[in-house]
Structure 1
Amino acid sequence: MSARILIVGGSIGGLFAAVLLNRAGFDVTVTERSVHGLEGRGAGLVAQREVFDILRDVGVEHVAQIGVIAHERIYLDRAGGIIHQQRTPQTQLSWDVLFRTFRDLLPDARYQIGRRAVEVIQEADGVRVRYADGREERADLLIGADGIGSQVRATVAGPHSLPDYVGYATWRGLLPEAEVPKAAADQLFDRFAFYEMPGSHILGYLVAGPDGSNAVGRRRYNWVWYRRYTPEELDAVLTDRDGQRRPFSLAPGHVRPEVVAAMRADAQRLLPPSFAAAVTAEPRPFIHAIFDYAPPHMVAGRVALMGDAAFVARPHTAMGVAKAAGDAFALRNALLGTPDIDAALATYEAERAPVGRSIVAYGQRLGKSLE
């Protein structure tokens, strides 16, 4: 009988692991706390080698072609002039398309939404997970793929294993290209654009439309603005429309109107005209605070961490999805390599922990100018 594997967290990383393990013959179930699912929550991503590898492994390499090519990089000055141009073609993929592709590869019975894990109980030869609805699931192995705010992480790394806020956050927008003002579109489209200033920078690029289309007129513009906030300022920014302070981020539509208005006013005051126009055109901007975290362990007993539930790296690395793909490959290969689950998990940790630590350190080096 194949090992029963429970994956807590149904975002990209959990899906990567679930699809690879399911295809390898393991009995896999994913539980995701979101009631409505995760599709539509992502923006754009710059794919690394591991992403192309996993697409090839599961037979959907064509998804790598569902992207938008930025033909060059440009750097702007405050007035909007181009001060540096570099011919470095690069393809940006859509998080939504990647998520939907892997979700479709997993049978519906193996992906359960609306199930929030609240307790993990280690046993001699397995693990039990208790959910908010009172039900329990038992498995031979639990994989924590539940992201930066992981509920599973404490079982592996201890009760105080919380990521460290690094002093800045990203505002983000993702809007149909037709809604970007023409003057901004003329300068920004089909390019990877940047503007840098002390303690802040903004970048933007086109990604495929929500249906995966990369046809002109059906794409979306993705912008990301890094801004510094003191912990006190962050508390105010991350307090949602209902007055609840969220720990890590606010989704589209949840940021208080007065906070959005202040951010837009700052964009007009601080950014080049094209970027200011793109930021202002986004009707529902969203925000993520930035954190660092490296766990002392990735494995404890029959519980393993992967993706951002393990190592939280700053987005400058553009390696979050690649890191999750690498973790998924390593887990599958280790479990296929031996029927001894404990030995397999030791192999997994030995391979991936040094990689995770190096990515976190790389992100810290890249983010020094923003601290």
Structure 2
Amino acid sequence: MEPLRIRIVGGSVGGLFAAALLRQDGHDVRLYERSTTGLAGRGAGLVSQRELFTLLRAVGCDHVARIGVVAFERIYFDRDGGIAERHAMPQTQISWDHLFRVMRSKVADDQYVTGRAVATVTQGPDRARLLFLDGGEEEADLVIGADGLGSVVRPVVTGAPAPNSYAGYVAWRGLFAEEQLPADAAILRDRFAFYMMPRSHALGYLVPGPGGETTVGQRRYNWVWYRPVPAAALPATLTDTEGRCHPHSLSPGQVRAPAVAALRSDAARLLPPPFASVVAAEPEPFIQAIFDYEAPVMASGRIALLGDAAFVARPHTAMGVAKAAGDALALRRHLAEAPTVADALALYSTERCAAGTAITAYGRRLGAALE
């Protein structure tokens, strides 16, 4: 296939995966990220999966998957903070921030545009067209929607409104420097820790520092507490310090002070002491509502979906980044092998819809006890 003019909506790791691979094949690629400040510093840790290893090798960055923090065992607390169960299950967590920066370095600055939001996408038989909120337009041979849960590309591909389905619970999160880990939570070091309770559970583990640091004292502690929130209460839960309601999450610094105080109080009352301590140690906890979505198709004409724009997998799977990597690898392969863009996207949609359906079903099974 001749080199294509490809435009990607969304500049997170999924869009960068696709951009890095497709640029290697000689395509003209540009990404549009609606955030004005970029996305560095927004991630915590992630577990390397086969698809991510494959992609990193393909772009010459397999060293990224080797820079991680090893949790040597999994432990499960009882209510008083004793270890009820322990399992020798070594697992390595790598840094989302480091992965993002390395992938971002694969795209030239003039090919990564921040602060320019795409309103929608249209297409004809030979071209797709991006329509920007600022009134501008741009044509492309192929548009990739890698714009996540709030995708503006998704309904264009599916041909109908395509809202996410709220799962009935949220993830409260914290991420702070290892040196801030309280002394009474030292048991959490170098372990993947859990505490289970009805319709809720907490977990935590060390991840590399923001620059990929793995030296003791330079790492970060990442904790997550899944808690039920009725659908009717979700808008209030996702209302920030300035009174604005967000659709999916609140970032560090956006959670209102009374909600932070209530979270810490609940942690002291409900969680084992080590987890209660790390919740109290996080100065700016943040929150992510949990959603489900499965696209009936991942491509239409000259427009394709990738990552969470197509399938929203619950975080229990630890496969969100790997799923996006698998999408990018498959899209590249089909574009290289098929005679036309339409043929390539049809094959891509069939292959990756099957993978996305399996992953999202797995996530629903893992999260069923929380609903």
Aligned residue in 1 for 2:93: 92
Give CA deviations for 1:284-324 in whole Å, capped at 9, x if unaligned.
11110001111111111111001000001111111100000
Structure 1: how far apart are the matches of 2:160 and 2:20?
30
- Matching residue of 1:15: 16
Q: Aligned to 1:236, what secondary structure does the other structure show?
A: helix
Aligned to 1:289: 289
For 1:262, the equivalent position in structure 2 comes to: 262
| Distance in 2, Cα, partners of 1:52 & 1:203 | 25
> CA separation in 2, counterparts of 1:246 and 1:27?
34
Equivalent-residue separation in structure 1 for 2:345 and 2:196 (angstroms): 43
Q: Does 1:219 align with 2:202?
A: no
How far apart are residue 136 of structure 1 and its match?
Answer: 1.0
Q: Tell me, which stretches of 5 or more residues in structure 2 are unaligned? A: none
Task: Give me the whole-angstrom Cα distance separating, in 2, the residues matched to 1:288 and 1:233.
Answer: 14
What is the identity, as a one-letter code, of the residue corresponding to 1:61?
D
User: Which position in structure 2 is the counterpart of 1:75?
Assistant: 76
Cα deviation digits, residues 340-366 of structure 1 (max 9, x gap): 100000110111111101111111111
Structure 1 counterpart of 2:49: 48
TM-score, normalising length: structure 2:
0.98
1:273-288 equivalent positions in 2, closer than 5 A: 273-288=273-288
Which residue pairs with 1:32 in the alignment? Answer: 33
Q: Distance in 2 between matches of 1:167 and 1:204?
A: 22
Q: Which residue of 1 aligns with 2:244?
A: 244
Q: In the alignment, which residue of structure 1 is the partner of 2:5?
A: 4
Q: How far apart are residue 122 of structure 1 and its match? A: 1.2
CA deviation profile, 1:213-250 (whole Å, cap 9, x unmatched): 10011000000110000012212110111111111001
Deviation at 1:338, TM superposition (A): 2.4
Q: In structure 2, what is the equivalent of residue 342 of structure 1?
A: 342
Q: Which residue matches 1:208?
A: 208
Aligned residues: 370
Gaps of 5+ in 1: none
Q: Structure 1 residues 25 and 339, CA, compared in 2 at 3 Å: closer, same or farther?
A: farther
Cα-to-partner distance string for 1:267-295 (whole Å, 9 max, x where unaligned): 11100000000011001111100011111
Please show how residues 103-252 of structure 1 align to structure 2 within 5 Å: 103-184=104-185, 186-252=186-252
**The 10-residue stretch of structure 1 (295-304 or 191-200) with the greater mean CA deviation from structure 2:** 295-304
Q: CA deviation at 1:109?
A: 1.5
**Aligned residues: CA RMSD:** 0.9
Residue 357 (structure 1) aligns with:
357
Question: Which deviations, in whole Å up to 9, do the C-alpha atoms of 1:100-130 show, x marking residues without a partner?
Answer: 0100111111111111000211111111111
Q: How far apart are residue 47 of structure 1 and its match?
A: 1.4
Query: TM-score, structure 1 length as denominator?
Result: 0.98
Structure 1 CA distance, aligned partners of 2:153 and 2:320?
19
Q: CA deviation at 1:46?
A: 1.1
Following superposition, the deviation at residue 158 of structure 1 comes to 3.2
Mapped partners of 1:28, 1:105: distance in 2: 12
**Matched residue of 1:293: which SS?**
strand
In 2: Cα distance, 1:163 partner to 1:154 partner: 11
Deviation at 1:159, TM superposition (A): 3.8
Is the counterpart of residue 332 in structure 1 residue 332 in structure 2?
A: yes
What is the alpha-carbon distance in structure 1 between the residues aligned to residue 230 and residue 359 of structure 2?
25
Give the drift of 1:326. Answer: 0.1
**For the residues of structure 1 that align with 2:159 and 2:40, how far apart are their CA atoms?**
31
SS, match of residue 277 in structure 1 = helix
User: What SS does the aligned partner of 1:367 have?
Assistant: helix
